[in-house]
Amino acid sequence: MTNTLDQPTDGPTPSVATSLPPSVGIFWGLREGDGSWELVHARLPLSEAEPYGDCLTYPGAHYDIWEGWRRLRPAGLRKRGLPTMIASYEYEHFPRGRIVYETVPRHFVLYADRRLQRPSIIDRLRWVFGLTDAAVIVRSDSHYRTIP
């Protein structure tokens, strides 16, 4: 199982030559002090995704992944390139979402807290999950709504 649990998604603008495999997974948006968003995620190539009804999905739950990161404490998070603020907050504190693949009608669905449904964030998530050329539907879901 390939998993990029420890890869933050901020960084240089992706080049056209960069090609990531289409993936499913979970993500969070962490608000920086300057108002920008840092995205962290856990993903799995679509070829390794698990069936769930008519969907292919990432098997990990937000709670489990977040708690695994929190157990790393700030030093371990830093070593993995993850924001150290993860250690200080519960998984529900930050806006989050999930990307699944619906086998019928054959498209990806990006479920996200409304605060993350900004064109710049959606574009970044599409790149990180290898979906720049894929059909993607963006939806809200009460499960991914964070109370401020």
Q: What percent of the chain has pLDDT over 70?
A: 86
Q: What is the pTM of this model?
A: 0.86
Domain contains 93: yes
Angle of CA points 40, 140, 64, to nearest 5° = 40
Using one digit for the tens of pLDDT, what is the confidence trace for 68-111? 999 999 999 999 999 999 999 999 999 999 999 999 999 999 99
| Residue of 43, 36, 60, 28 lying closest to 120 (CA atoms) | 36
Q: What CA–CA distance (Å, rounded) separates 20 from 137?
A: 19
Tally of structural domains, the chain: 1
Domain contains 125: yes
Domain contains 87: yes
Domain contains 3: no
Domain contains 17: no
What range defines the domain where residue 91 resides? 23-144
Q: What CA–CA distance (Å, rounded) separates 145 from 98?
A: 12
Domain contains 13: no
Domain contains 98: yes
φ, ψ for residue 16, nearest 5 deg? -60, -30
Tokens matching residue 119 = 């064109």
